[in-house]
Every structure is written in structure tokens, then in C-alpha cells.
Amino acid sequence: MSALRTSGPARAGQYLALLAYLVFLAFPFLWLLSTAFKPAPELASLHPTWIPENPTLDNFRQAFDEQPLLRAAANSLLAAVSAAVIAVAVATPLAYVTVRHRGRLAGAATGWVVISQAFPFVLVIIPLFLVLKNLHLINSVAGLVLVYVVWSLPFALWMLMGYARAVPAELEEAAAVDGAGRIRTLVSVTAPLLAPGIVATALFAFVTAWNEFFFALVLLKTPEKQTLPVVLTHFLGAEGVADLGPLAAAAFLATLPSLLVFGLLQRRITGGTLTGAVKS
Amino acid sequence: MRRILALAAALALLLSGCTAGGDGPDDGVVRLRFQSLAWQKESVDANRQLVKEWNAAHPDIQVEYVQGSWDSVHDQLLTSFEGGEAPDIIHDASDDLSDFAYGGRLADLRPLLSERLRADIPARSWETTTFGEGVYGVPFLQEPRVLIANRKILESSGVRVPTPEKPWSWSEFRQITQDLTRTMGSGRYAVAWPLKEPVSVSLNLGVSAGGRLFHRDPDGRVTVDFTASDGIVPGTVHDQVVSDRTAPRTTLGSGGSDTLPGFFAGKYAMVPLGFAYRQQIAQQAPEGFAWTVLPAPAGGEGLAQGVSPQTLSIAEDSPHKKEAARFLDFFLRPANMVRLARGDWMLPTGTAALADPSLHTARDGWATGAAVAEYLRPAPAQSVRGYPEWKDKVATPAFQEYYSGAIDGAELRRRLVEDGNRVLARYQRR
């Protein structure tokens, strides 16, 4: 086996391309950060700067003063965490069973999962609204969580099926030979191997729910229940006019939880992604 | 496993605590939901304060203030109407009401409104919320387009400064932008047109030159025609950008806010903007920056221009329409309308409110706006079924290409009329 060798200039080119890509990815976030700390005259400058000349916290003060950001963030957090936990709790056994017991039903279920991803949400929102109304779940975070779970479940299932497939059945058979029961095998052998996939899937469900806007807008009626993406639109006026400074400050704060969760779970996600990508 | 079960139980308890209750206690108190789209702090404060005053004075009719958003109001209302969960009192713009009005979602306000309110608002404003036989909203705030100008550049150039009594004509405006650009030096322009949404600007300002574009037959059928009058305003803008170079091509795809940095830096002497933009300018302008508000140029119809006022409607499904109408009557009393207008930096439609001295001061250009108010007319597209599709699929790309010089006036006319009538015909088949 011989390792691939790259010449010095080629490696420098690779690093340069990687750096350019990272800058491209980071640009919106850094610009948001810069805008959040700029006073009004700098926001209206014809020659914008990366680093604010007179950094200020006024935009943050104004954002908190004008909108109930903390309450909205708490609502978002509750909805996103609940949706992630429930979606994973439902999708994990489903994915495992679908992978281990291959048959026509499992094939049809997988097909349906793929097809259901093609439905635009505007198609389902009105029937969904009526169903939730009959269940008295309009204007409740519980109703919103239900929607988020249903919405993220197909992709979560699909994702977890990839991870479940990568768990070798031989390991479970070996555990059975050693005398472990079905439950013991699932808990002690299968679950730890699926853990990275579960974490990655939960993160996906969390971020989807955390950023979701339209369902929250339509389903939550009272200000006390509104989530962060809905409250952020209150900084926007008619014809695209925006209260740019406070909007940037609030949007910057809104991105922090996702970044924090990603940062904390990064290692597990990377492991999970690799685990799912390799076929046994 | 025990930990997972405990987590699931905790979650279930948490969610059960989040479930909505019913529609409120059965205590004989009428509860109304008022969805407001006010978004600027002063405006939200004014709205909330008025609701608070109402609630204090009417313990038997309590109004809940709900914050909506301009960005998504149509979709949100559509879903709420379909689901039978619409707010009782709805804040929107008149050009968004037609589908809801024709669809039976909004209450006809004629038997509900007080005589005072009906008499206070001029007939031309009521026209913006009249669909078929009914009136489906109270128009209460409106916003003309004005020219916000850099006072120093304007005065040092020596050009005649227009007033509502003696505005520029469209041809004079073109000439003055040529003179101004010459005095400003290279890389600077007399006017910047932010035309990200070119259709409403073109149509509404076009009213001043007699532009109508939409023509209604006696049988109610609407067709598009593009006469010489319709071409005056678009032609002026096109010439300023393409042949005179008195307006930059780069701002054509911009929104109003995007042009402000260049305006503050003296790159543009004037920017045509909605009246409410004054608030942003007052907040963001650098210290010592002197600005003034000028009336938009006038044509054969004088200072006339089309507007789509902000409106308040009552949902047809609301079980408390009379109480909602009483709240509207309170909310739109002249003094309250002034508070709302000042909060939004817009003009009230009510004649009594418009007469308030605070709306006639020279400061921040209030007087210019108030003087223009009497010339405001319903936007030409008001109540034309199929207008949103005509705007998005035909008119927006056509105007954008025309203003950038990609197509000529004949092609603009062909697209607006031929392609446009095909779209409108689909909505008017019997």
C-alpha cells in the first residue's frame, strides 16, 4: 500500500482552497456579528468596515427592550429539545426494525419515507392546522412539537437506517451466543454502536425545529407562546424595511444555541457520520 | 432504561403543561384578538397603549394585542381563515384584502361602523377597501412617495426647490437631475431609484401623469392598456438611467434602505422613498446631515399618486363583530389616529386627524406629506383580480429590463399589455 503524496505547491493550493471555503461559510455569521455591534451611523456608512469603529451594545439593549427575546428563546428551546428527543425516540427503534427485518413492508416504508420528503409544507399546513384544531393543540407548544416530530421523522428515520445498517448483525449474534437476552443485546451492544447516529440525528431534528418559522407563525396565536424565528420578524416592516441593528443583534443571539450544541457534540457527530457512511 | 422512561415522563408532563386552554373563562367578558402589524417601537408603543386604555375603560370587552408581521401576514391569515382561527380584528394593507373579501373571510363593515368614522374618512380612501358592494376594511394610515433630498447639495446647486404648491413637472425633474448631476461631479448622481419592487412605484407615481394601466369595462372586466400617459413616469426613469446617466444603474435592484448609505455620503442628491422612511433617515443620518422632504414630481393630474393604505378589518367568523367595531371606533378617534400616524411616521386618512397641527410642522417634512395627502388616490391595481400574478410574472421582469435598458418602450408595452391581458383573462373567465 502506498500513501498518496502531494507536492508542496499542491498542498498549499489545497489549504488555500480550504481557507477560501471556510471564509465563504463564515462570512454571513461574521457579518452578522459585525453588524450587531455597529452604531446606527456605521450601519448607514457607504464604506462598511469589518470591525466596528465605535462598537456598541445599544443594538442588543434595543432588541431586548423591544421584543421578549428571552421568553421566545425559552419557547424555541422547549420546542426544539422536545422535538429532537421524541423524534429520536420514535425513529431509532423504527430504523432498527426496518433494517433488521427486511421484507416488502420495510421496503414500502422506506419508499414512503423518501416520497414524503417531496411534499411542500404549504400543501400540508391547512389540513394539519385543522387536525391540530380538533385535538385542541392550536396555540400550544405541544402542538408545535407534534408537527416538528412528524416533519423531521422521515429524514431522521432515513438517517438512522444508514447507521443501523452499519451495525454488524454478527456482533448481536455473538452476544446471543454468550448468553445475552434480546433486551440486553440491544442495550449493551447495539445502542452504544448507534449512539453517534442518534446524536447526529437529534442534532438535525433540534436545528430544524430551532430554525423553523412558518409552522410556528401559523400555529401559535398568543405572544407568550411565540418562538424566536417568529419574534425576529417583528424587526421587519413593510416592503422589506428592517431595524437592522437590533435585528442583527437578535439574530446573532439566535444562532448561538445551535453553534453551542454543535461545538459540544462535534466529535460525536463526526464519528457518527463516518459510522453511517461505512457499509459492513 | 429507567433513565429513558423518566425522561419520557418528564417530557410528557412538560408538554401537557404547555397545552393551550380553551377560549378563556366563561365569565361574560367578551375577548377580542387584535393582530397588529405595527413594528417600529413608537408604533408598537402607541398600539399597546391604546389597547391598554380601551381595556381599562371596558372591563366587559377585553382586547388582546397580538403581534403579527408584514413579511408573512398573507399566508398566516390565509391559514387562520381556513382553520377558523383568525383574529377578530385584523391589521393589513388594502391591496392584500381583495382575496379575503371576495372569499367571504372579512365582514362587510357598512352596518357596523359608526357614522362619525364613515364621515371622517374621505370617499377616495374608502374606495381602497370597497370590493363589489361591501366595505371590508377601515383605511387609517397611508404613505405617499416623496423625494428625500440632501439640502446642502440642492441649495448650493441653485436649482428651483419644489413645494406642494409649485412642484416640479416630470420633464422639469428630468432637466433638474441633469443640471444637478453636472454640478455634483463624477461618480455622483442627482437621483437614485431603489426599484427592487418596480411595479407599485411605476404604477402609483404614474397616476400623477394620468397613468391608469388597468381599465374596467362597464361589465366589470379589467384589461391592461399602456397609453402615452402610462409611459411618462417609466420613460423618465428609463432616460435618467440609460441615456442621461443622472441616476445610477446599480440601485435599480436595491430596496429603499440600501440607498441610504450613498445618500448620506453625498453620492446621490435625492432618493424617491415612502414617507415613513423619514424615521430611518432621522435615526441614521450622520450628525449635521441636512435633509429635506420634497413632493414627488407632478404631471397632468397634479400631485396625484396611488396608495394602498393600512387597514383594520373584522373577521367574518368573529362572534363579536359589534364589539370589534366599537373598538375600531375608539382606536380610530382623531386623537388616537394622530398617535398611530406619528408612531408609524405616516399620514392618517381621517380628515380630523390630518388637521392636527403636529402633522403640519416643517420638522422632518411632515408639512410636505400633509399637503400631498389630499391628492392620494387608490392604487391603480387595487382590487384587480390576478394582479399579483401579473405583477410577479409579467410586470416585474418587464419593468426591470426596461429600466436597465435591456428592452425598449415598445417591448415593455407589448409585454405589459399582451402577456398581461392573457394572465388577467384567466381570472375573469365566466
pLDDT at A279: 43
How far, in Å, CA of A67 to CA of A65, rounded? Answer: 6
Say whether pLDDT at B382 is over 90: no
Task: Tell me if chain A has a CB within 8 Å of the CB of B283.
Answer: yes
Q: Tens digit of pLDDT for each residue in A178-211?
A: 888 888 888 888 888 888 889 989 998 999 999 9
pLDDT of the residue at A270: 58
Share of chain B above pLDDT 70, in %: 94
CA atoms of A224 and A71, how far apart (whole Å): 7
Of B117, B129, B134, B81, nearest in space to B315 by CA = B81
Cβ of A44 and B260 within 8 Å? yes
Residue A182's pLDDT is 81
Give me the amino acid identity at A137.
Answer: L
Quick: pLDDT tens for B133-167. Answer: 899 999 999 999 999 999 999 999 999 999 999 99
Q: What is the pLDDT of residue A174?
A: 84
pLDDT at A2 over 90: no
What is the per-residue pLDDT across B83-137, written as a single tens digit (0 to 9) for each?
A: 888 999 999 999 899 889 989 999 999 999 999 999 999 999 999 999 988 999 9
Band of pLDDT at residue B282, cut at 50, 70 and 90: very high
Mark which residues 117-146 of A lie under 8 Å from B by CB.
Answer: 122, 125-126, 129-130, 133, 136-143, 145
| ipTM for this model | 0.70
What is the C-alpha to C-alpha distance for residues B191 and B181, in angstroms, rounded to an integer? 8
How would residue A277 be classed by pLDDT, with cut points 50, 70 and 90? very low
- pTM to 2 decimals? 0.82
- Tracing cell 466596528 back to the chain, one arrives at A52
Q: If you average pLDDT over each of A14-23, A34-43, B394-403, which comes out highest? A: B394-403
CA-based nearest residue in chain B for residue A217:
B76
Question: Strand B61-67's sheet: what is its strand order?
Answer: B61-67, B30-36, B89-93, B310-314, B138-142, B347-348
Q: Is the pLDDT of residue B299 over 60?
A: yes
Contact B83 A226 (CB under 8 A): no
Give all strands (DSSP E) within B143-195, no chain letters. Answer: 145-150, 189-191
Query: Is the pLDDT reported for residue B177 higher than 50?
Result: yes
The pLDDT of residue A271 is 53
Cα dihedral B95, B100, B104, B106 sign:
negative
> Number of CB pairs < 8 Å for A and B?
132
For B392, residues 6+ apart whose C-beta sits below 8 A from its C-beta are none
Looking at residue A180, its pLDDT comes to: 80
Provide the shortest C-alpha distance from residue A96 to chain B (in Å).
Answer: 17
Rounded to whole angstroms, the Cα distance separating A241 from B257 reads: 7
Q: Are the beta carbons of A244 and B257 separated by less than 8 Å?
A: yes
| Overall average pLDDT of the A54-76 stretch | 93
- Contact with chain B for residue A57, Cβ under 8 A: no
**Mean pLDDT, to the nearest integer, of A122-147?**
86
- Say if residue A278's pLDDT is above 70: no
Q: Which position has the higher pLDDT, B395 or A257?
A: B395
Considering only CB atoms, A241 lies closest to which of B15, B37, B257, namely B257
Confirm or reject contact between B260 and chain A (CB < 8 A).
yes
Placement of cell 394602498 in the chain = B308
Sign, CA torsion B92/B98/B100/B106: positive
Mean pLDDT score across all residues of chain B: 91
Residue B179 neighbours by CB distance under 10 Å:
14
- The C-alpha of B73 sits at a distance from chain A's nearest C-alpha, in angstroms, of 9
List the single residue in A with minimal CA-CA distance to B86.
A221
> Would the pLDDT of B15 be above 50?
no
DSSP assignment, residue B257? G
For residues B334 and B353, the answer to whether their CB atoms sit within 8 Å is: yes
pLDDT in tens, B220-258: 889 999 999 999 999 999 999 999 999 999 999 999 989
Report the pLDDT averaged over residues B74-90: 90
Residue B375, pLDDT > 50, answer yes
Q: What is the mean pLDDT of residues A39-49?
A: 83
What is the percentage of chain A residues whose pLDDT exceeds 70?
Answer: 91
SS (H, E, C) chain A: CCCCCCCHHHHHHHHHHHHHHHHHHHHHHHHHHHHHCCCHHHHCCCCCCCCCCCCCCHHHHHHHHHCCHHHHHHHHHHHHHHHHHHHHHHHHHHHHHHHHCCCHHHHHHHHHHHHHCCCCHHHHHHHHHHHHHHCCCCCCHHHHHHHHHHHHHHHHHHHHHHHHHCCCHHHHHHHHHCCCCHHHHHHHHHHHHHHHHHHHHHHHHHHHHHHCCHHHHHHCCCHHHCCHHHHHHHHECHHHCECHHHHHHHHHHHHHHHHHHHHHHHHHHHHHHHHHHCCC
pLDDT at B10 over 60: no
All residues of chain A having their beta carbon less than 8 Å from the beta carbon of residue B67 are 223, 226, 234
Q: Which of A86, A218, A235 to mutate to test the interface with B (most CBs of B within 10 A)?
A: A218
pLDDT of residue A100: 83
At residue B379, what is the residue type?
A: A
The stretch A206-223 carries a mean pLDDT of: 89
| pLDDT recorded at residue B390 | 94
Pick the more confident residue, B59 or A11: B59
- Closest CB from B1, B83, B256 relative to A129: B83
- Asked if the Cβ–Cβ distance from A45 to B265 is below 8 Å, we say yes
What's the pLDDT band for B72 if we cut at 50, 70, 90? confident
The mean predicted confidence, pLDDT, of chain A is 84
The fraction of chain B above a pLDDT of 90, given in percent, is: 79
